[in-house]
Amino acid sequence: MSNSKPLSYPCTKIVLQYLDAGKRFLLSQQAPALYHAEKSVSLKIESLKLTPTTIVVNNHTVELRIIRRCPENRLLRRFQRENEAGGLKSDLDEYGLKYRLTEADILPGDVKVGTGNIPEEEEERDRAYYVDRLVEEKIKRLTTSWTPEGEKIREGCEANIYKLQNRLDNTPEHFERYIRLKISSGDWSKVEYVKYDKKIYEAMKYLTTKFLGGRKMGTENNTVLVRYLEVYVYNCVLRLPKDLNLKARRIQIDSKVTAFKDLFDNVLETHLGLDMVKISTRELGEEANRKHPLITTAKSVIFMNYADYGYPWFQNVLESNNKKVTAEGGHVSQESFFELVRLILLDRRDIGTKFIIGVDQREVVTELFKLIKENSEELDIRGKVVKIGFWSRKSSWGFQDLAIPMPNGAELYIYCVKNRQYKPDVLASSKWKLHFKVVPLNHCAPRIPRKHFHFFDFLTFLLLVMFMIRLILLVLESGPVVHIIMFYLFLFLFHQS
């Protein structure tokens, strides 16, 4: 018979405090007796992602969707596809159309991002508007050709006609509707269905309040500590608990920074001097976004360029005064890189300043080094530009390291390494990363003068080839154990090169 005793209340609080935040949330829901103990201790979250219908805590995800069901299995094909995809993310009105939020739907604690997707003109609900849309959908359905892609268009038109006709006839949608709640963590997942008696945003408000809310104001446990906060959304409403206070050190948001005023003013303890800000360049052409204190005061900024937004996005990098700047995606010319080098040298940037730029073409780096050599007088270089020795360089195979003396007693160290997280199908992902780092003078050693570099480079490469030939001969003459040792040694040398 077990002599184990249940944990005392103080011990339970300590265990909850150091338990993973996602597991802590799920445990408190399964055991209501732990609810008050969970709320009485501080909450620390490694990563938190918020959207209008999803909350992700570390690797635990809770998402809400809407699905339709028909007892006679006569669901429209478009609605079947939506169910198969997991359901709809937006609320529906009684006719099956997308529910239009109003100011009355904004509850205490909610955060509007941008306009909140609230329509400004009530004329959109006029009968004439729906009549015109119904005619457009019928015409589109009749004129669409019979192809696999055209069939999907016809299915969409059929669903839209059904919903618009309901609206004009003032007839509620006859399909049954449910809220689909999915909780997942790694390979584990659980799905539940609840009758669609309340809006999705009301259900989301309930979930966020149960997890993040309920902490006493004015106490040290009131603030929720978040290491990485992601709110990469736009024109929506985040359903958060009333009096929520978040303290985040790293944040990823949409480029329309001014749209997050509610979040900065009412939820975040501070948005100044963060350790890192990750942001797309889509709206950074506007000075109000580009010069926002969130970006200018951050220690590190990551610019993600997902597409051509019609303005010189690399200007964000050139104008940045942050200690560390990273840029991914989009083509950067050698002239733009040269301008970055010129600004670093002429501005005499402090030691520790670092720029990391994604590169897809080797030729850009080679041409950059040529431009630096040809325009050394314009750059006001105080000393010899040197290249780092073969074994001491940081660059990947096929690239060279460069050290440029600076007027302030430091040097600009340039090297290019392989991007180990490179994803060919992701636009903002580059094969290599070109580093520009301001380091103490003579920090990069041993170094080889420019005029002798090619000789030593060739000599070292020749010795490496001879060594590899000798290894191959030894492997052929030895047993399986030596084979394995030599194989791993070869992998190690190849990795180092």
pLDDT digits (tens, 9 = 90+) for 75-107: 888 899 999 999 999 999 999 988 888 888 899
Query: What's the rounded Cα separation, in Å, for the pair 278 and 299?
Result: 11
Is-contact 207 55, C-beta < 8 A?
A: yes
What pLDDT, on a 0 to 100 scale, did the predictor assign at position 497?
Answer: 47
Query: What's the rounded Cα separation, in Å, for the pair 307 and 287?
Result: 19
What values do phi and psi take at 434, rounded to 5?
Answer: -95, 120
pLDDT tier at 177, thresholds 50, 70, 90: very high
Query: What's the rounded Cα separation, in Å, for the pair 157 and 108?
Result: 38
pLDDT tier at 455, thresholds 50, 70, 90: low
pLDDT tier at 6, thresholds 50, 70, 90: confident
Query: What's the rounded Cα separation, in Å, for the pair 397 and 176?
Result: 61
Higher pLDDT pick, 194 / 285: 194
Q: How far is CA 319 from the centre of its chain?
A: 23
Instruction: Map tokens 């084979």 to a residue.
Output: 483
What pLDDT, on a 0 to 100 scale, did the predictor assign at position 488?
Answer: 61
In the chain, what is the straight-line distance between the N-terminal and C-terminal CA atoms, in Å? 62
Please spell the DSSP secondary structure of 306-369, one letter per residue.
Answer: -S--SS-TTHHHHH---SEEEEESS---HHHHHHHHHHHHHTTPPTT-EEEEEE--HHHHHHHH
Percent of the chain, pLDDT > 90? 29
pLDDT tier at 203, thresholds 50, 70, 90: very high
What pLDDT, on a 0 to 100 scale, did the predictor assign at position 123?
Answer: 44
Higher pLDDT pick, 204 / 495: 204
Query: What's the rounded Cα separation, in Å, for the pair 41 and 221?
Result: 6
The residue type of 272 is L
3-state secondary structure of 68: strand
Region of poorest pLDDT, from 12-21, 186-195, 413-422? 12-21
The residue type of 258 is T
What pLDDT, on a 0 to 100 scale, did the predictor assign at position 120?
Answer: 54
Within 144-260, residue ranges assigned H as helices are: 148-169, 200-212
pLDDT tier at 471, thresholds 50, 70, 90: low
> Is residue 288's pLDDT more than 60?
yes
Query: What's the rounded Cα separation, in Å, for the pair 89 and 201?
Result: 10
Higher pLDDT pick, 134 / 404: 404
> Is residue 385's pLDDT more than 90?
no
Region of poorest pLDDT, from 372-386, 394-408, 463-477? 463-477
> What's the full length of the chain, in residues?
497
Is-contact 66 179, C-beta < 8 A?
A: yes
The residue type of 121 is E
What pLDDT, on a 0 to 100 scale, did the predictor assign at position 485?
Answer: 64
pTM for this predicted structure: 0.79
pLDDT tier at 483, thresholds 50, 70, 90: low
For strands 324-328 and 236-238, give the pairing: unpaired
For strands 447-448 and 176-185, give the pairing: unpaired
Residues 6+ apart with CB under 8 A from 225: 42, 43, 44, 45, 247
Using CA atoms, how far residue 160 sits from 130, 135, 199, 307, in Å, is 11, 11, 21, 31
Q: What is the mean pLDDT of residues 329-337?
A: 85
Higher pLDDT pick, 310 / 190: 190
Q: How far is CA 205 from the centre of its chain?
A: 24
> Is residue 148's pLDDT more than 50?
yes
> Is residue 449's pLDDT more than 80?
no
Q: What is the mean pLDDT of residues 487-492?
A: 60
What pLDDT, on a 0 to 100 scale, did the predictor assign at position 5?
Answer: 74
∠94-96-99 over CA atoms, to 5°?
A: 75
Percent of the chain, pLDDT > 70? 82
User: Which of 238, 228, 290 has the alpha carbon at shortest distance from 260?
Assistant: 238
Mean pLDDT of the chain: 81
3-state secondary structure of 472: helix
> Is residue 373's pLDDT more than 70?
yes
For strands 432-440 and 354-359, give the pairing: antiparallel
For strands 324-328 and 300-304, give the pairing: parallel
What pLDDT, on a 0 to 100 scale, did the predictor assign at position 391?
Answer: 56
Query: What's the rounded Cα separation, in Å, for the pair 337 and 327?
Result: 12
Q: What is the mean pLDDT of residues 411-419?
A: 89
Four-point Cα dihedral 436, 442, 448, 451, nearest 10: 80
CB atoms near residue 259 (< 10 Å): 21
